[in-house]
Amino acid sequence: MSNDDRRNFEKAVRAAVPKYSETPTKGGLESLVTFGAEAVAVETSPLAVARNRNAPPAERAAALHALAPRQRNDEEFVQLLLKLAGDSSEPPELRSGVLRILRQLRFSSVLLNQKRAQLIETLRPIIDDPDPTLRQDALEMLAQEKDEYVQRRLLESLTGQAPLPAALEKTVQLLGYDIHAEHFPVLRDIAKNAPTATARREAVRLLASDPQSIQLLREIFHDKNEDQEVRRASANGYLSLDPAGFEQEAKKIVLDPAEDGDVRAASLSALTHFAHPSTRDEELNGYVEALGKRDLPKPLEDAVRTYNRRQSS
Amino acid sequence: MNAADAAHFDASTREEDLASWVASCPRAHVPRAALVTLLPEQHRLYAGRSTNETARIRGFILAAFERVGLPEAALPYVLDELQNGNDAYLVAAAAKALRGADAPADVAFAAAFLHTARENIRYADAPVTFDVYKPSRPVERSTTAADEIRKTIEWIGEVDCCAVPASSRPSRRTLRVESLELEDQDGRHVRFGEFFSGKPSVVVFFYSRCDNVRKCSLTVTKLAALQRELTARGLDGRVRLTGITYDPHFDLPPRMKSYGLARGVEFGENVRFFRALECFDDLRSAFDLGVNYIGAIVNRHRIELYVLDPRGRIARSFTHLTWSERDVAAEIERLLRGRPWQNAARAAMASLASILIALLPKCPLCLGAYASALGLSGLQIVPHRTWLLPAALILVLAHLVTMGRRAMRTSRFAPLGASAAGTLVLMAGSVVWSMPALSFAGAALMIAGAAMNATPYFDVTNALRSMRRAYTRFVARSHLAWPPSR
Amino acid sequence: MKTDVAINGGTSSTSNYLTWSPSPGEIWLSNAAGATAPVKVILRNQRTNVGGQVVFTTNSAVAGTDELRLDLPPDGTRVPFYVAGKYPLASKADKDAAVEVIESATGTQLSLTQLMVRIRKDANLLTPSERDLFISAFATLNNRGTGRFSIFRDMHRGISYYEAHGFPGFLAWHRAYLLDLERELQDIEASVALPYWRFDVPAPKIFHKDFLGESDTFGTVAFSANNPIQYWRTDTSDGITRDPLFDPLTDPAFVLSESGTLAYGAMYADFEKMEGDPHGNAHTSFTGWLDDPATSPKDPVFFLLHCNVDRLWAKWQLANARFDVTNIATYPHQGKAGTPSQTTRIGHNRLDTMWPWNGVKGTTGGISDRPPDAPGGGLAPSVIVAAPAASPTVGEMIDWQGKLTTATRMGFDYDDVRF
């Protein structure tokens, strides 16, 4: 299921929810209902529709959505959701929709939160599901729960011991839910050697928590051959781990007309909002004030204007 | 399985090998004692391991106590997980461990901890298994922390007791890190010896990215509460309150400050947070901190608070379990009431007085007994005086009152018990039945009670425990073969 | 001759912030210039075609008018009045409104008092200046992970879930949470009011690099190089992870509409279902931090999402006249935890104080389930209002406008919810 497919599915679900919002939770045969081109006599209570394997997945998911606000602490309802999510014979779009309802219930259902163990047990097999959207949903939900098993699986895939369960970039990103995972050595490797800038950027984001990576972050920040998104991500981490060192390096970058405009602007933005006042010295102030009189690329122009306005206020 | 192997486990030990060894431990005293030696958080076994791996190992060891038997020395670790743990695997293991006690009554005191754990884990539970170590796939059969807690509560049954074991220990440990440089939350530098002298101090350890609210966040919150407690007692200014970060490279001064302020700490000259950037390992070693790392990241730590005397020596440590502000404040007050040598001198004088009173002859027969005991054949027998017995009784009473007051202050009643028993026996031998042997026995008991009273830092219970621990360590390392398991 | 005006009991311009609710004011002759009889003055807006507009009244129960005529004693005795923002004409910049006092007889201006009609607005309709001031204040509060924002993050974790979710006090708790945060932002930049994300209509300007960021294919949010939110840091995470399942440029989130939400019913017990839909569905219209209660406040959009949730509650209150906190239709759980009147979890009964502002931790008197710590202390005070208390009860969060008694007004209002 692609992102567009999921989006269209959720739109269809949303459109169908009002149909089930006022109908009784349970009930017997009520009327003829048209599903597509076929009119069939079916039970139309939302629970019945949700259980009906012949009903379109969007209708079933809509019925469950309609039930969720009032049935959020109902044992039968929650068990149905867990069953549907874990049933590999059900359509993947329905299961994806059900996972979304389970996420919604994490916000409002006392009962579901008491069944965290059962939820985790349901999600773990889904990380091996053939459908990539389901896999990614389950991976992310388990990573949010800081599940030890999924952290192990993510790291094994990043160290080549197993296939990646999701895109490299996403796999790296999911590790970020729990700093205690033992991922820094492999992240340093990805930050230096990953084939895509996005993957390198994701690794650099997480290295912002590793004091042993300060030197690497500094190098990336200065590397004019590196993608500007990766450099800006490294600026963030460098600023967190070594604010004083970052400020001096950022100042040099701002003063260097040969530098990338976005990196200069991002550096100046950091100095404007977070730097120690002593870093915003006469040299920097004068240079930036003079910069304000030139034609500049928009991001840098905005950054210069913000800096000068702050200094004068 | 060879119990001596435990002494060789270190950071290079494969966790699967360790798990096999643990799984092979039989139900016997030595193996369980060997397992306990692997539980201190600072053990080299955990150095360089991830948090998850550390938790797996510790949980597997704790769970093994159900099978091999639960030694008393494991209790702090078990109770820590139940009271403060947020990992379902570890909490389940701790609940299982309690069922390794010889009888439910032996761990009945843990019922309250089990109820706390049940509340703590209610919304943080997960499926776990101890049948297989580090399962490679989701397993068919699993348990949960809630299930294990329930089983243990049922096993213990209804209880109406009990005092919880103390989590604090007295100490006289000298730290020897006077020259170590610290940086505080405002970026000011000071040497350890310079700051931690002249006043009693409270030192807690924490780090800002600790994800267990019941440990670091609660510790600092309670430090702020302790600050208020001491102020209410009029003691602010006479004591220093400090937090030192386990994570000096990440916890920069603004981060430490923000963390403390958010939890109610009011910083000042005597209330500061520190990081030891250059020589943290020295500090770690000096305190024997219950912490371990993977790289620069903490992988495991315990709750720990230290009360230092005005000379910067550890006077009392509170570890593993949540400490009470009242207990810490009481320790501070004790230190403030006098310098240790003054306390010792006072105790010695009081004890000497007790000994003298105990030795004073209280009847003619006692005089005779002393005389013959001393071999003073030429000694004139002191004529009996009618005032002697009442005077002796008054002195004995004074002796017992002195002992009693000291017992109330120190909560150590054994010396009083010995003296009281000695008094009864002495009276029986001297006044009731005129038996010199009985009189001597009574006097000896009284002298023994006075002698126990004269050693202020002698804790019998802990001494016995220390001896037992030393014995088990000796046995574990001695390469002796053991009887087969039952 | 000169007059002085004090608004909200303050003597400096820091108090000169208004909402739609009547704020108390005082006016007096600070220089009577020899007058021996009362001086007739007119209070009015200085400019009627620009900036926020205000109305005046002498009785807070009576609707205000564009002008107010008063007689001022020559001895400088203070004369009370009320002033409020003129719905829906909110300010667009700090102190862009002004109360002009003129002498009736001569038309001479006797004083000019700058003020702001500070209102929570639709974030998608903010001016660039309003937007930039907001994100600058927010970034400063976060201060790359070392600022006081960490307190707000720590208030909303898994361990504190039941203080704020799954039970009826959900709306009251979050109202207090947002107000606390907003006041901290106002300490940094007084003109800032928390904007809301109206999630049932498209809001492309919010999910833009110049505002709260644009997500890439993997859900990492990108910002323009001048945007200080690019240095956002929470826990140990840099940046923001947010992957919308809908197209934020063209579509609303997958939520119940506003009209559908308001149609839940006139009783609170029915309306609180909105915790699931639209609130829960707004969260789960994304993957990433927003879709898990424990991580959701790490994303700044969380606060705009919840601002809209609160706005919907406010709209429902207005539509159904639900301001009387003693009415079970307004809030059904009237009792107090630990007493026979308790009918729901501690922290959710009307008379219960709320964690963490009450500082209650762990188990207290046999009533357990409070989180082990309580970060942040009491709810931030305001220079313009006295309510709610630093440790507010559930009930104290109900009448935010001071409809029934002006003392309960809390100093915020919404651009489309009148007084």
* DSSP, residue by residue, A233-252: HHHHHHHHH-HHHHHHHHHH
| pLDDT tens-digit series, residues C221-275 | 999 999 999 999 999 889 999 999 999 999 999 999 999 999 999 999 999 999 9
Q: C106 and C251 share a domain?
A: no
Chain C residues lying within 8 Å of B254, measured CB to CB: 143, 146
Measured between alpha carbons, how far apart are the two ends of chain C, in Å? Answer: 35
Nearest by CB to residue A117, choosing from B125, B134, B209, is: B125
Q: Which residue type is seen at C218? A: F
d(C-alpha C207, C-alpha C191), whole Å: 23
Q: C280 and C205 share a domain?
A: yes
Domain for residue C393, yes or no?
yes
The answer to whether the CB of C221 falls within 8 A of the CB of C213 is yes
Q: How far is A108 from chain C (nearest CA, A)?
A: 4
Q: B386 and B329 share a domain?
A: no
Q: B50 and B141 share a domain?
A: yes
Does the beta carbon of B475 lie under 8 angstroms from any beta carbon of chain A? Answer: no
Chain A residues lying within 8 Å of B296, measured CB to CB: 210-212
d(C-alpha C305, C-alpha C297), whole Å: 10
Tokens at residue A25, please? 């939770």
The answer to whether the CB of B292 falls within 8 A of the CB of B299 is yes
d(C-alpha C84, C-alpha C63), whole Å: 10
The pTM for the full model equals 0.86
Q: B88 and B237 share a domain?
A: no
Chain B interface disruption, residue of C146, C234, C346, C357, most B CBs within 10 A: C146
Q: Do B119 and C150 touch (CB under 8 A)?
A: no
> Residue B103 to residues B65, B112, B114, B295: CA-CA distances in angstroms?
13, 17, 16, 42
Domain for residue C382, yes or no?
yes
The answer to whether the CB of A213 falls within 8 A of the CB of A184 is yes
Domain for residue C418, yes or no?
no
pLDDT for the residue numbered B385? 57
Q: C257 and C351 share a domain?
A: yes
Tokens at residue A33, please? 């209902």
Domain for residue B464, yes or no?
no
pLDDT for the residue numbered C31? 93
Domain for residue C419, yes or no?
no
Does the beta carbon of B47 lie under 8 angstroms from any beta carbon of chain A? Answer: no
d(C-alpha B428, C-alpha B422), whole Å: 10
| pLDDT tens-digit series, residues B55-67 | 999 999 999 999 9
The ipTM estimated for the assembled molecules is 0.93
Chain A interface disruption, residue of C159, C200, C229, C284, most A CBs within 10 A: C284
Q: B236 and B285 share a domain?
A: yes
Beta bridge partners of B189: B183
Q: B325 and B347 share a domain?
A: no
pLDDT for the residue numbered B430? 77
Average pLDDT score over chain C: 95
> Residue C20 to residues C86, C95, C412: CA-CA distances in angstroms?
7, 16, 8
pLDDT for the residue numbered C361? 86
Q: Do A113 and B123 touch (CB under 8 A)?
A: yes
Q: B361 and B316 share a domain?
A: no
Q: C81 and C133 share a domain?
A: no
Chain A residues lying within 8 Å of C173, measured CB to CB: none
Other Cβ atoms within 10 Å of B96 Cβ, number:
25
Residue spans of beta strands (DSSP E) within chain A: 29-35, 38-43
Preceding peptide of B162 cis, ω within 30°: yes
Nearest by CB to residue C373, choosing from B124, B221, B252, is: B221
Q: C111 and C164 share a domain?
A: no
Q: B202 and B324 share a domain?
A: yes
- The percent of chain B in helix, strand and coil, each rounded to the nearest 5, is 55, 10, 35
Other Cβ atoms within 10 Å of B270 Cβ, number:
17
Q: How far is C236 from chain B (nearest CA, A)?
A: 7
Q: How far is B78 from chain C (nearest CA, A)?
A: 20
Q: How many CB pairs under 8 A join A and C?
A: 165
Does the beta carbon of C156 lie under 8 angstroms from any beta carbon of chain A? Answer: no
Q: How far is B297 from chain C (nearest CA, A)?
A: 12
Does the beta carbon of C273 lie under 8 angstroms from any beta carbon of chain A? Answer: yes
Which domain-ending residue is among C85, C117, C149?
C117
pLDDT, tens digit only, all 313 positions of chain A: 888 999 999 999 999 998 888 765 554 334 444 445 444 445 578 999 999 999 999 999 999 999 998 899 999 999 999 999 999 999 999 999 999 999 999 999 999 999 999 999 999 999 999 999 999 999 999 999 999 999 999 999 999 999 999 999 999 999 999 866 578 989 999 999 999 999 999 999 999 989 999 999 999 999 999 999 999 999 999 999 999 999 999 999 998 989 999 999 999 999 999 988 888 888 888 888 888 888 888 889 999 999 988 888 7
Other Cβ atoms within 10 Å of B310 Cβ, number:
19
Q: C215 and C92 share a domain?
A: no
Chain C residue with minimal CA distance to B219? C373
Domain count, chain C: 2
Domain for residue B486, yes or no?
no
Does the beta carbon of B64 lie under 8 angstroms from any beta carbon of chain A? Answer: no
Residue-range definition of the domain harbouring residue C58: 2-117
Q: C43 and C105 share a domain?
A: yes
Q: Do A210 and B295 touch (CB under 8 A)?
A: yes
CATH code of the domain containing C75:
2.60.40.3170
pLDDT for the residue numbered B464? 60
d(C-alpha C68, C-alpha C74), whole Å: 18
Q: C253 and C364 share a domain?
A: yes
CATH code of the domain containing C152:
1.10.1280.10
pLDDT for the residue numbered A41? 47
pLDDT for the residue numbered A25? 57
Other Cβ atoms within 10 Å of B128 Cβ, number:
26
Domain for residue C380, yes or no?
yes
d(C-alpha C333, C-alpha B39), whole Å: 48
User: Which has the closest alpha carbon to B164: B112, B94, B96?
Assistant: B112
Domain count, chain B: 3
d(C-alpha B133, C-alpha B141), whole Å: 13
Chain A residues lying within 8 Å of B126, measured CB to CB: 116-117, 120, 145, 147
Does the beta carbon of C366 lie under 8 angstroms from any beta carbon of chain B? Answer: no
Domain for residue B52, yes or no?
yes
Q: Do C150 and B262 touch (CB under 8 A)?
A: yes
Chain A residues lying within 8 Å of C245, measured CB to CB: 3, 6-7, 10, 100
Q: How many CB pairs under 8 A join B and C?
A: 46
Chain B residues lying within 8 Å of C158, measured CB to CB: 123-124
Q: B278 and B344 share a domain?
A: no
Nearest by CB to residue A182, choosing from B50, B127, B211, is: B50
Q: Report the phi/psi class of residue B411: left, alpha or beta, with left for phi > 0 and alpha for psi in -120 to 50.
A: left
Q: C178 and C45 share a domain?
A: no
Q: Do C148 and B262 touch (CB under 8 A)?
A: yes
- Is residue C182 helix, strand or coil? helix
User: Which has the closest alpha carbon to C4: C26, C24, C20, C22?
Assistant: C26
Q: Which residue type is seen at B134? A: K
Q: Which string of b and e fits C133-150 if b means at least 16 CB within 10 Å?
A: bbbbbbbbbbbbbbbbbb
Domain for residue B12, yes or no?
yes
Chain A residue with minimal CA distance to C293? A107
Q: Do B263 and C373 touch (CB under 8 A)?
A: yes
The answer to whether the CB of C304 falls within 8 A of the CB of C282 is no
Contacts (Cβ under 8 Å, ≥6 apart) of A254:
A264, A267, A268, A271, A284, A287, A288
Q: Do A65 and C277 touch (CB under 8 A)?
A: yes
Q: C228 and C360 share a domain?
A: yes
Q: How far is B483 from chain C (nearest CA, A)?
A: 47
Q: B181 and B76 share a domain?
A: no
Residue-range definition of the domain harbouring residue B89: 3-156
Chain B residues lying within 8 Å of A243, measured CB to CB: 252
Which domain-ending residue is among C84, C117, C150?
C117
pLDDT for the residue numbered C313? 98
Q: Do C295 and A299 touch (CB under 8 A)?
A: no
Other Cβ atoms within 10 Å of C79 Cβ, number:
17
Q: How far is B156 from chain A (nearest CA, A)?
A: 25
Does the beta carbon of B142 lie under 8 angstroms from any beta carbon of chain A? Answer: yes
Q: C223 and C350 share a domain?
A: yes
Q: B127 and B245 share a domain?
A: no
pLDDT for the residue numbered A28? 39
pLDDT for the residue numbered A67? 93
pLDDT for the residue numbered B72? 92
Chain C residues lying within 8 Å of B217, measured CB to CB: 154, 372-373, 375
Q: B187 and B318 share a domain?
A: yes
Chain B residues lying within 8 Å of C372, measured CB to CB: 213-214, 217-218, 221
Which region among B223-232, B364-373, C83-92, C140-149 has the lowest average model confidence (pLDDT)? B364-373
In chain B, which residues have pLDDT < 70? 1, 138, 160-166, 339-386, 388, 406-412, 453-486
Sign of CA dihedral A211, A215, A218, A219: negative
Nearest by CB to residue C373, choosing from B217, B252, B258, is: B217
Which domain-ending residue is among B278, B313, B337?
B337
The answer to whether the CB of A233 falls within 8 A of the CB of A203 is no
Which domain-ending residue is among B292, B311, B337?
B337
The answer to whether the CB of B284 falls within 8 A of the CB of B313 is no
Q: C285 and C325 share a domain?
A: yes
Chain C residue with minimal CA distance to B83? C372
Chain B residues lying within 8 Å of A114, measured CB to CB: 122-123
Which domain-ending residue is among B286, B303, B337?
B337
Q: B315 and B345 share a domain?
A: no
Tokens at residue C16, please? 């000169």
Which domain-ending residue is among C89, C117, C145?
C117
- Residue in the block written with tokens 């369960």: A165
- Residue in the block written with tokens 């000695």: B422
d(C-alpha C33, C-alpha C339), whole Å: 63
Domain for residue C223, yes or no?
yes
Cβ burial, residue B444 (10 Å; 0-12/13-18/19+): middle
Chain B interface disruption, residue of A88, A120, A242, most B CBs within 10 A: A120
